């Protein structure tokens, strides 16, 4: 189970500053149990957004939003029935669920509504890929929905190191002394290259500057043991 906490409202409003039509997605998995992403919390956030003159609609997945195939269907159903163009999705789930939505819907902003406090992973093509190390202060809204902490072998938060060659991360290869293609057939692109390409495609490269100007992180939010009191 992934422990999550609500992001401060002002952070969510800041992410949504240019968005009018917003869809809030809840997760009936761990976030419902934590009382951070169930129906009540989705309605609560929609009401708050509406009172700030946003058109907000909420939906809660029947299964955990980190389950790729179920979420594919869930989102297809929502998009089929919506009459307006969506400007942004706010996902009330762990960072893994936010990234699953962001991978499926790559041409609309997908923002995190919660902070994840413990590890999580998503499943795609029978492979479980770690997506979120539960840093407790989610920044996916600044990175095109891609987590640098989790996907960079050095957990680099402040831009790329010097190990990439033509966009490919060579860190694991250097560390193991083997060609990475021979190790579990893993192909790893430098996550910073992937983030930059995605932001550039969406003409949002300026978010990188915003990311680099963040206050130093409070790593104590990752300390164990974690407890979520209901």
Contacts with ligand SF4, residue ranges (CB under 6 A): 95, 112, 115-116, 132-135, 138-140, 147, 149-150, 152-154, 156, 160-161, 163-164, 169, 171, 190-192
Nearer to ligand SF4, 43 or 164 (CB): 164
Measured distance CA(202)–CA(208) in Å, rounded:
13
Pick the closest to residue 90 from 40, 42, 39 (CA basis): 42
Give the nearer residue to ligand SF4 in terms of CB position, either 57 or 61: 61
CB 15 to ligand SF4: min, Å: 13
The smaller minimum CB distance to ligand SF4, of residues 105 and 138, is found at: 138
DSSP 69-116: HHHHHHHHHHHHH--S---EEEEES-HHHHHHHHHH-TTSEEEE-EEE
Question: What's the CA gap between 189 and 175, in Å, rounded?
Answer: 16
- State the minimum distance, in angstroms, from the CB of residue 222 to ligand SF4: 9
Minimum Å gap between C-beta 4 and ligand SF4 is 9
Nearer to ligand SF4, 38 or 163 (CB): 163
Minimum distance, C-beta of residue 136 to ligand SF4, in the bound complex (Å) = 7
Cβ at position 157, least distance to ligand SF4 in Å: 9
Q: Which two tokens stand for residue 122?
A: 């998503």
Element (H, E) at 6: strand 4-6
Nearer to ligand SF4, 56 or 94 (CB): 94
Pick the closer one to ligand SF4 by CB: 49 or 169. Answer: 169
Closest approach of ligand SF4 to the CB of residue 53, in Å: 28
Report the distance separating Cα 117 and Cα 132, nearest Å: 9
Q: Residue 76: exposed, middle, or buried by beta-carbon count in 10 A (0-12, 13-18, 19+)?
A: exposed
Element (H, E) at 31: helix 30-33
């Amino acid at each position: 189970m992934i422990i999550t906490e609500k992001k401060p409202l002002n952070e969510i409003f800041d992410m949504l500053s240019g968005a009018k039509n917003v869809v809030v997605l809840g997760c009936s998995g761990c976030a419902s149990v934590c009382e951070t992403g169930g129906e009540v919390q989705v309605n609560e956030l929609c009401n708050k957004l509406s009172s700030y003159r946003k058109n907000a609609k909420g939906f809660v997945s029947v299964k955990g939003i980190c389950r790729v195939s179920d979420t594919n269907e869930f989102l297809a159903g929502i998009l089929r029935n919506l009459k307006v163009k969506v400007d942004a999705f706010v996902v009330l789930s762990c960072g893994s669920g936010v990234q699953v939505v962001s991978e499926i819907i790559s041409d609309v902003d997908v923002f995190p509504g919660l902070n994840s406090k413990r590890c999580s992973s998503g499943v795609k093509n029978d492979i479980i890929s770690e997506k979120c190390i539960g840093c407790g202060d989610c920044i996916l809204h600044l990175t095109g929905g891609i987590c640098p902490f989790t996907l960079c072998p050095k957990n680099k938060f402040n831009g790329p190191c010097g190990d990439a060659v033509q966009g490919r991360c060579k860190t694991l290869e250097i560390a193991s002394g083997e060609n990475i293609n021979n190790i579990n057939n893993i192909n790893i692109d430098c996550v910073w290259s992937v983030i930059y390409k995605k932001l550039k495609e969406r003409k949002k490269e300026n978010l990188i500057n915003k990311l680099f100007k963040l206050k130093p992180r409070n790593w104590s939010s990752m300390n164990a043991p974690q407890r979520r009191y209901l």
